[in-house]
Amino acid sequence: MRTIVITGASSGVGREAARHLAAACDNRLILVGRNRERTNAIASELGAQAIVADFARLDDVRALAEQLRGERIDVLANNAGGLFDGPKITDDGYELTFQVNHLAPMLLVHELLPQLFDSNARVIATSSMANVLFGRPALDDIQGLNKFDQHRAYGNAKLANLIFAQELHRRYHPRIATCSFHPGVVASNFSRDTGSWMRKFYESRLIKPFGISDVQGGENLAYFIDGTPGIAWQSGEYYGDRRKAGFKHPFARKPDQSAKHFEICSSLLGIEWPA
C-alpha cells in the first residue's frame, strides 16, 4: 500500500486528485488543507487522514512534518498555493505569495527528507505556465518586494516551484524522483483571496472556452502522483497540461542561476541540505 500526502487537498485540483486516487485500493491518502471543515469533509468522504496546516504559518509546516514523522511517504504532492493581493508580510517575515507557494513546501521537503530518501519517494510540485507568462525573477529581490506586482509574484513563486524540483533532482536523484507540472487553466478558487482580474476571469463564464474543470486538473495531478518515474515522466522535468514537456522561463534553463536561487531560498529559511 502506498502512502500519498497531498497538500492543498481541501478544494480544487488537490481535492479532485484525491478523489481520483481514492478509487485505487492500494492508496493510503493523507490530505492536508488550511480549512478545517473542508479538509475533514473530503477526508471523511474518502476514508483518508486529514491534517490541517496553513502554509502562511511556518510553524504549521513544522507541525505538519512532525505529525508525519515516522510515516512511510511514497509520494509527496506539494499542491498548496494561491494568488494574493499584496505585498503582505507574514508573521514569519516573508512575502505571503512566496511563502505559501514556495518557501513552505520547500521547508516541508527539507523536514521530511530522510523519510523521503528511505522510501525513494516521488516529490511532485504543482507549478503553472504563469512561471513563463508572469515570472520576472531577480536574485537580488527574490521575493519580488521591489515594485511589487501580484501577478509577477505568483509567476515568480511558480517558477520557484519548478526550479526547486529541478534542484532536488540534480542533488538527490535517484534517492528521490521529482517533477513539476502545469495542471491547466483550471476553473478553481485558487485566486479567491485577491481582487485581481484573474479572480474575475476564473469565476466568469469567459474561462469555459480556454479552461478545464477542477476534475480534469485533478486528473493531471493524479497522473504524476500515480505515474512511474522513468516511464510516465522523467525526474527533474517540467510538464504542461497535456503531460508533455512544458514551456519554462529561460531563468530555469540556466543551471548556475537555478542553483543560486535554491541557495538563496534555503538561506532565507535558515536551512541546510545534506550532501
Sign of the Cα pseudo-torsion (236, 241, 244, 249, in order): negative
The C-alpha cell at 2 is 502506498
Region for residue 21 given its phi and psi (left: phi exceeds 0; alpha: psi -120 to 50; beta: otherwise): alpha
Half-sphere exposure of 187 (CA within 13 A, CB side): 13
Q: Catalytic site residue 154?
A: yes
- Say if residues 86 and 148 touch (Cβ distance below 8 Å): yes
Q: What one-character-per-residue DSSP string does 132-146 give?
A: HHT----GGGTT--T
Q: What one-character-per-residue DSSP string does 28-80 give?
A: EEEEEES-HHHHHHHHHHHT-EEEE--TTSHHHHHHHHHHHTT---SEEEE--
Sheet with 49-52, side-by-side order of all strands: 49-52, 27-33, 2-7, 75-78, 122-126, 177-181, 237-239
Burial of 189 (0-12, 13-18, 19+ CB in 10 A): middle
**Number of helices and strands (H, E) in the chain?**
10, 7
Catalytic residue among 154, 223, 238, 239: 154
The C-alpha cell at 56 is 502562511
**Residues catalogued as catalytic:** 154
